[in-house]
Structure 1
């Protein structure tokens, strides 16, 4: 009898986890169709259900990662995948400089390193469409882009200089339960400058060679959305090996139905 009860409780717990998307430290994102800043292939894009990390990846988490995967340690990375600024704020392969905080978002990380980190967790980087879809929410609505104070607040965050005191979770979470999409650091996406890629090549995000060069204002649907425009402009200026002081990342996970 006890065995039956145990199996039943286990079934209930697993079912609730699948239904409500309760992966550890991830938020369930219900997909939909929406109009992004850039028209690209079509005016409306569709985002399927997925899960997103509640917080950006921290220095502490990346330290554990490079210990487990030494090829991403500061002294061991290949120049093909990182530039000279990679982990610039670390004193060595496993320690931050004294000025840095363990609970701050990891920065000075290349796209290659961020992509591999997510994949080693059984996750992946979010697409531009997924990231922007979640980022257009505020604390009370899924699409806050028409609210007068929405872009104003984000631009104010962007204008605030990054300091070593920027810790995760200090800004309010949005309606999805996700923190810090704005206000701390820029974040890598899987197809970070796919706005320049047309047709089928944009959908094939595994072709890394398609992702590396960029520009900014192409087919913008709303030039008044300056906050989003800044994000697209930053993405368009990046190459996959670049590392920057204010560029971090978080992971997402597909939901298999």
Structure 2
């Protein structure tokens, strides 16, 4: 007797996708950022997010398959000179970049190219914030002072220590790990997080960097960890790379 199983529902994660990605249901979400055109919250469509950040081993495989992203070949407009500077060579990791550590010293352009190479994309800021609001049991733990203090304790640790491997932290309520306390992470729309009205003047070379929907401000000033992330990301250019900035990929629901 052959048991016929029903097909998975549309958009369900199967096989390796289910191991690498966690599915998030989406919904109306009140961001810590106050959007002028979204007073009652922003809508987050269902999406899938990598359970852990991209590692050195995973990014090395991408570089080997796409040599234009090697540090000795990448165009300067896409990555600054420090890009992957912690690797022993353009194609070898070495003692300062262990395989299971999250990849850092990677530019937005390189992170975006990696995600596109696997049929994915970088998450938006709202998607990242939505996932990062959860703790191990609750989808939104942001009102819990103990949870906020734990996050701030993670961020207060010295940044000169070697990075732990990805995936050590307990999964949150969605099954996503390492959203806090490991590395900062690129988002697709990182450059639209802060708006200065003075930068909307005609002829301003930077005016295309900013969100046309309106100015942003902090709606939840107690969520200092989010404020730090916004300040960090909005200070960067796409070619920049730092010692504590990595990324993970997302996929829209099918």
Equivalent-residue separation in structure 2 for 1:212 and 1:90 (angstroms): 33
- CA distance, structure 2, for counterparts of residue 210 and residue 59 of structure 1: 32
Of 17, 36, 45, the match for 2:31: 36
- Which residue does 2:13 correspond to in 1? 21
Pick the structure with more helix per residue: 1
Please, what TM-score do these two structures have when normalized by structure 2? 0.86
Secondary structure at 2:120's aligned position in 1?
Answer: coil
- CA displacement, residues 137-190 of structure 1 (integer Å, 9 cap, x when unaligned): 000111100001111111111111243241111111100000000111000000
SS of corresponding position for 2:193: helix
Which residue is 1:252 aligned to? Answer: 250
Point out where structure 1 has 5 or more consecutive residues left out of the alignment: 199-207
Q: Closer, same or farther in 2 for the Cα pair 1:58/1:209, shift >3 Å? A: farther
Q: Among 57, 67, 71, which residue is 1:70 paired with? A: 67
Q: 1:164 aligns with which of 138, 162, 171?
A: 162
Q: 1:209 to 1:36 in 2, by over 3 A?
A: same
User: Are 2:102 and 1:105 equivalent residues in the alignment?
Assistant: yes
Counterpart in 2 of 1:185? 183
Q: CA deviation at 1:19?
A: 5.7
**1:228-251 alpha-carbon deviations (Å, 9 max, x no partner):** 111111111111100010000000
Shift of 1:195: 2.5
Residue 227 of structure 1 is matched in structure 2 by 225
Give the secondary-structure state (helix, strand or coil) at the position aligned to 1:107: coil
Give the superposed CA RMSD: 2.3
Aligned residue-pair number: 236
Which sits farther off after the overlay, 55-64 or 155-164?
Answer: 155-164
Question: How far apart are residue 218 of structure 1 and its match?
Answer: 4.4
Unaligned runs of 5+ in 2: 197-205
Structure 1: distance between partners of 2:92 and 2:132: 32
